[in-house]
Amino acid sequence: MRVSLKDVAEHAGVSIKTVSNVVNNYQHVTPATRQKVQRAIDTLGYRPNLTARHLRKGRTGIIALAVPELGNPYFAELAGAVIDAAAEHDYTVLLDHTQGRRERELLVAQGFSTRVIDGLILNPLELEAEDLAARTDDAPLVLIGERRYDLPYDHIAIDNIAAARAAVRHLLDLGRRRIAFLGARRDRPSQPAHLRLLGWQAELAASGVAADEALVARVEGWDRADGAAAMAALLDDGQRPDAVFAYNDLVAIGAMRVMAERGLRVPEDVAVVGFDDLTEGRYGMVTLTTVAPDKQAIARLAVESLVGRLSGELAAPGRPRQLQPHFTLLERESTLGRAPR
C-alpha cells in the first residue's frame, strides 16, 4: 500500500503542510522539525508522487535528449550523465537517436509533433540556423555540441579551437613537426571537425610550423573504420607524419590499427592524440592521449539551463547563455610512451 503525506504527518506528529514543505525542500522549516519529518519518511519508506507533482504544474515531468548516435560511446556516456543530472531535479529523460538526419532533427526540434516533453536538449548536426529559428514548439530548448548557432537558445559546448590547439601544442612540445589532422570536414564550417582543423592550423602557425595540407585527411564518418581508411590513404600517398591529431578517439584508434599493420610504432614513430576520453582509449595496448571534455559539467549545465527556463529562474528566450565547460588534455602512452617499470 502506497505511503501518503498524511501517513508521514501522523507518524511525525506534524501537519500535512509541514511534510509537504520538507519534501519540496521549503526553506522555512526548523532543523528539528525537518529531522523529525525525514525520520518518518525513512521509516515509512515514503516516495513522492513525481507525476502528480509535475501535473499540478502543467508539465509531464519528461525532458528529451536527442543525440546523433547512441552507438558512439561519447554520446552514450553523455546520455548517462544527463539522466543522472535530470534525476536530481525529478525529471525523467526521453532519449532519441537522430542519426544526424535533418528530417529527424526537425521532428525532434518541433517537440515530436506532440506535447509529450517539457523541454529538449538537442545536439544537432544537420539543422541550419533558419531551421531552428522557424521552430514553433514553445518547449524550452538547450543546444549542446560544438556546432555554432547565433540563436536565442542556451548553448553548452567546449571551446573546440582552444582544445585542438592544446593537443597540437603537446605534440609540438614533444618535438613533432609533421602533424597530421584526421577527420576534416570542410563542407560545414560551423561543425566541430572544421573548428578542430582551425585549431590545428592556428597552433602550427603560432609555432612557425608550416601547416601541410597534404597531412589533412578527410573522412566520411567518425568511427574506427573511418580513421583506419584516413590513415591508410595518407600512407598510400607517401605522406609519413610523425604525429597525428585525430578528430575523436574512435578515429585515432582506427588509425593506430593501420599503423601497427604497417609496422609503425606508437609513439616512437608516430605520436597520436585523440578527442573525447572514451573508456576504450584507456585500455588498449597503447593507452591514448586525448582531449577530455568535462561530460559531467556539460550534462549538468544543460539540465540546469533547461530546468531554469522551465521554472522561470532564468531570463526569457532572447537572452541566451553561451556556456563553455572545461576540457583537459590527458597525456598517456600514445604520446609519452610507457613509463619505466
User: Is the model more confident about 244 or about 320?
Assistant: 244
What integer is the mean pLDDT of 309-334? 84
227-250 pLDDT, tens digit each: 999 999 999 999 999 999 999 999
pLDDT-based confidence at residue 191 (cuts at 50, 70, 90): confident
Q: What pLDDT sits at residue 338?
A: 87
pLDDT at 192 over 90: no
Asked whether 319 and 152 are in contact (CB, 8 A), the reply is yes
What integer is the mean pLDDT of 279-303? 96
106-137 pLDDT, tens digit each: 988 887 755 688 999 999 988 888 998 888 88
User: Is the model more confident about 31 or about 290?
Assistant: 290
Q: What pLDDT sits at residue 165?
A: 98
Q: 3-state DSSP helix/strand/coil percent for the chain, to nearest 5? A: 45, 15, 40
User: Is the model more confident about 199 or about 45?
Assistant: 199
Q: What is the pTM of this model?
A: 0.80
Q: What pLDDT sits at residue 55?
A: 46
Q: What pLDDT sits at residue 148?
A: 79
Percent of the chain with pLDDT over 70: 90
**Phi–psi pair at 174, nearest 5 degrees:** -85, 0
Q: What pLDDT sits at residue 29?
A: 83
What integer is the mean pLDDT of 132-146? 88
Q: What pLDDT sits at residue 336?
A: 97
Q: What pLDDT sits at residue 188?
A: 60
| Domain boundaries, given as residue ranges, for the chain | 56-158+295-326, 160-293
pLDDT at 171 over 60: yes
**CATH architecture of the domain formed by 160-293:** 3-Layer(aba) Sandwich (3.40)
Q: Name the E strands within 46-199.
A: 62-67, 92-97, 119-122, 141-144, 154-156, 179-184
**CATH architecture of the domain formed by 56-158+295-326:** 3-Layer(aba) Sandwich (3.40)
DSSP classification of residue 297: H
User: Is the model more confident about 171 or about 108?
Assistant: 171
7-36 pLDDT, tens digit each: 888 888 888 788 777 777 676 788 888 888
pLDDT-based confidence at residue 56 (cuts at 50, 70, 90): very low
What integer is the mean pLDDT of 217-233? 93
Asked whether 211 and 244 are in contact (CB, 8 A), the reply is no
